[in-house]
Amino acid sequence: MAEPIALLALTLDAAMGWPHALYLRIGHPVGLFARIIAEGERRWNDPARGDAARRTAGVATVLLLLAIAGGAGWALQALLEAVAGGWAWPLIAVLAWPGLAQRSLHDHVRAVAEALEQQNLPAARGAVGMIVGRDTADLDEAGIARAAIESLAESFCDGVVAPLFWLLVLGLPGIWMYKAINTADSMVGHREERWRAFGWAAARTDDALNLAPARFAAGLICLCGGRGWRIMWRDAHQHASPNAGWPEAAMAGALGLRLAGPMAYDGAVSDKPWIGEGERPAGAGDIRRALTVYARACLCLWIIAGGAAWAL
């Protein structure tokens, strides 16, 4: 029987998230990745350099991140196994725990629902602005609710399913290599002129690492929502990302809502296609329903992690 590393890591994350007091004292492990990425971007992403040179620099940054995250994960796991033997697995789970985001994602999205329920639009805009990249200052209640639900669906993959997947596949090195690449994608994997060449490697690597998890996450959302399969298959490719559209379309189908659509970034409106169907505007109740689907899907992951520990 394999040690239930993934199950314990999920339990710790669900129980505590990443405690604020701990964050204030030592930060979060992804902060190290962010500093490496920011320094690489500052040094090597010079607009005066050609696209080929900047793309090569981006590839080097990705390889450096993988070497640091994977090498540190492998070394720590090997050290614990050598020192603690059969009791190494709880310590490995503790080191994997910060790579998961079940609790923090739920808490951030719930805060949006609570603000809308209190009819406090400024607070709701502030809360949703913590989890989305679009402009939020002019969002109405429906726009705020859609943004929160879309972030919940996409982050279910990025923050829970994909890290757990790579933990199960590659152990401690796997979860932290994934988190390093996902952090790089969020920081530089954009299509704007400044990042397009330098962030190409981060974006493409993140796409590859999320290929299976995104589709698995979408299936779990449909399963736990009791519907959504048709919308998932029909609209998953409406999203610009090859992966994010899957869980978002699944959630839209499960809730019977239209998500996405036109949205503003840095003052410029992007005319994105709608995902899903239905004419009624989204509201706080829909965020609550999405959180229920999310909680059920997380429970399924617990069952999968426990089953993997028992079977392997």
List pLDDT tens digits, range 191-216. 888 889 999 999 999 999 999 999 99
What's the whole-number average pLDDT of the chain?
93
**Residue 267 predicted with pLDDT over 50:** yes
Q: Average pLDDT in the 67-75 region?
A: 97
> Angle, to 10 degrees, between the axis of helix 88-96 and the axis of helix 5-16?
50
pLDDT, greater one: 96 or 240: 96
The rounded percent of the chain whose pLDDT value lies above 90 is: 80
* pLDDT at residue 3 is higher than 70: no
Per-residue tokens: 187: 């920081």
pLDDT of residue 1: 38
Where along the chain do its domains lie? Answer: 5-311
Quote the pLDDT of residue 263: 84
Q: Is the pLDDT of residue 157 over 80?
A: yes
- Please give the pLDDT value at position 66: 97
CB 164 within 8 A of CB 100: yes
pTM for this predicted structure: 0.94
